[in-house]
Amino acid sequence: MLWKSRVWRKLLSTLALLQCAAGGAIAAEGPAAIPVERFFQYPAILEAKLSPSGKLLALTTSKGGTRIGLVVLDLSQNYKAMRTGSFNDADIYQFDWVGDDRLVFSVVDLAAGGGEDRRVAPGLFSAKPDGSELRFLVKRQGKAFISNGNSFDRSLEWNHILLKVPEPQEGVAPDEVVIGRMDFGDNRLQSLTPMWLNVRSGRTRALDIVGAPARVVEWLFDSKGEPRVAITQKDQRAGVYWRGPTDSSWRQLLDSDLMNLPFQPLAVDDTGQLFVKDSQGPQGFGVLSRYDFAKQQPQRPALVSAPGFDFNGSLILRAGGQALGVRLDTDGEQTVWYDEAMKRTQALIDDALPGRVNRLSCRRCGAEDMVVLVRSFSDTEPGRLYLFEASSRRLQLISTVMDGIEPQQMARVDLHRIQARDGRDLPVWLTQPRGLKAGQPAPAVVLVHGGPWVRGGHWRWDPMEQFLASRGYLVIAPEFRGSTGYGDAHFRAGWKQWGQAMQDDVADALLWAQKQGLASSQACIAGASYGGYSALMGLVKHPELYRCGVAWVAVTDPFLLLKGSWWVEDDTSSVQRKHLLPEMVGDVEKDAAMLTANSPLAQAQRIKAPLLLAFGESDLRVPLAHGERLRAALREAGRPPEWVSYANEAHGWRMQSTQLDFAKRLEKFLGQHLAPAEARTGAP
């Protein structure tokens, strides 16, 4: 096997071509801590995809400059590297192959922060692998020109997005992709109309959707780009429609309330099979099933189930639509291969790279001349990219995903299952700092995920958790009720439990870690969005547990979330406010007392611990008013918080300068309030 070699050197030299401005130097590593810049750098390699033939490899990378560009390696020409696209005022963030001779990609401006998303759509571009024949296909909203001054006059309007790149078809030139025209209203997508787009000429033509229902917001396509599933939404109702390969018209499979969908379409193949996610058992764990059109319901037994977890993953389809395997995420990512040759290849790679997740993406899958891209990662390393050639059985390193991350310095991540105070199964992720002696408890940061209706933790490297662990803190990340990924019953148990049972779960995770001797009596609570709300409510409801709190882009006023305001712009739709949020959070009239009791703003007088608040000034999900109102209430109570707001950042920090500034503020704040007692007082 070859590791760092001429491929690596060639890649570095070509990536240097992408440099548009000199990058800032990373501070020298001191003896006490890994520099914060290491954790919050842009990845050296973001995405990598093999071309349909497997002879070319495309990479989005930040190496050699301050912007993310697109590079192609010619694997048949001694890894010859070509610069496909780079801009001095934008970053390439999504791309795909259209045959071997052309790529399509979209851009964002990471240097402008998340606030750009309010004004600028990502557009769509195409180019040959060597960067020639660059064509602007879809405008960037709010941007008339980009980099070299070329106009978008003949391109489509900004409200068109890429929906599907068909697999190569024999006898069909790979010149067209499926795009969708988006129509909006009431802060949400109202309809999505698909059409063919020629990536060379920019011409469009109609796609056959005759007889399709109105108000389609999502489509599923087969490998040829033929629409097979149409998903509609009107108010709180959702519909699923199907047109198989032998069908002449669309038929309705489902009409359901959004909150009680019996199944969700996930994928189709070219033989006319529909794969869906539904739930089974008393806990309602999600499973992958085929849909039985005759019985009009998901088949049993399910294709894939993962006890203790919802099915969270995807089918891996061979060109032509045949299922090669299934990729899913339980306590760690894994792939179940149906194809015997892929089973053998996975075993071979796992033996060569043990103790890691090794994700395989193949071309000519299972053949003797198969080419496989391997993304190998673990809880202590963001990852490495390898190329495996089946004919020579050679595994070659292409690049690390992030520079300067030493796995032996990183913290291990583990999932534990504990019982909440009412007996509910409660998954809890722990990131434990290195260097602790056996039985030595560490000061803890309880890190509450946002959403809240998402899964928070995964067995992989996370910059914030690793940063906190590198500073000596045990990071406790509970999957409180209301989180998804652990059964429908766990999800629904969190409805109308903001600040109540959901908050008790967070406290129970800390109490369990303390009882196990993992966490000391010193703890702070932190989080963003809903996690920020939970951090604030932790200080209100369980002040004895936390020495301090950190809340960023946090919901502070449930009534502002649920009702909105003429004076505060946000992106919450009337459908959400009328049908979803009242059922999941609370009704502003019927549940007014409960919401007031669990409002950080209304309970600001009870927040006694030191608090760091941070907000994005362009945030539409949780507008700045949430922070300003709580800040004023705490000032009136005589306990002003530490405060920072970031111009042109939205719901999350996208600019590297913001990420670094916030991380340094967080480090200083925790150091002041969570250091061991003897360190804070100077006692021996």
As given in the structure block, the two tokens for residue 540 are 């209100």
DSSP E strand boundaries for 147-199: 150-151, 160-164, 176-185, 188-198
Asked whether residue 23 carries a pLDDT value surpassing 60, the answer given is: no
What is the band of 676 on the pLDDT scale with cuts at 50, 70, 90? low
Domains, the chain, in order of start with CATH, read 1-21+35-154+339-401 (no CATH), 411-557+603-678 (3.40.50.1820)
CA separation, residue 474 to residues 24, 337, 413, 430 (Å): 31, 36, 10, 7
Dist. CA 146–CA 160, nearest whole Å:
18
Rg for the chain, CA atoms, rounded: 26
From 324, 367, 486, select the one nearest 417 (Cα to Cα).
Answer: 486
pLDDT one-digit tens code per residue, 136-173: 999 987 664 444 444 445 799 999 999 999 998 888 88
What is the band of 323 on the pLDDT scale with cuts at 50, 70, 90? confident
Q: Exposure string (b/e) for 428-459, b if CB count within 10 Å is 16 or more?
A: bbbbbbeeeeeeebbbbbbbbbbbbeebbbbb
Dist. CA 268–CA 220, nearest whole Å:
7
Asked whether residue 559 carries a pLDDT value surpassing 60, the answer given is: yes
Query: Mean pLDDT highest for which of 128-142, 183-197, 425-439, 541-555?
Result: 541-555
- Segment 586-594 shows an average pLDDT of 98
Dist. CA 400–CA 472, nearest whole Å:
26
pLDDT one-digit tens code per residue, 331-380: 999 999 999 999 999 999 999 999 999 999 999 998 999 999 999 999 99
Taking residue 142's Cβ as centre, other Cβ atoms within 10 Å add up to: 11
State the average pLDDT for the chain. Answer: 90
Q: What is the pLDDT of residue 140?
A: 85
Dist. CA 479–CA 420, nearest whole Å:
11
Query: Taken in order 251, 255, 258, 261, is the CA torsion positive or negative?
Result: negative
Strands 371-378 and 357-363: antiparallel
Q: Residue 452: is the preceding peptide bond cis (ω within 30°)?
A: yes
Q: Which residue has the tokens 């000032």?
A: 635
Strands 251-257 and 237-242: antiparallel
Asked whether residue 240 carries a pLDDT value surpassing 50, the answer given is: yes
Cβ atoms of 538 and 600 within 8 Å: the answer is no
From 327, 303, 221, 314, select the one nearest 270 (Cα to Cα).
Answer: 221
pLDDT one-digit tens code per residue, 265-277: 999 999 999 999 9
Dist. CA 449–CA 478, nearest whole Å:
8
Dist. CA 130–CA 135, nearest whole Å:
13
Q: Exposure string (b/e) for 162-179, b if CB count within 10 Å is 16 or more?
A: bbbbbbbeeeeebbbbbb
Dist. CA 591–CA 495, nearest whole Å:
13
- Supply φ then ψ for residue 403, to 5 degrees: -85, 145
CA separation, residue 295 to residues 132, 212, 289, 292 (Å): 53, 23, 13, 6
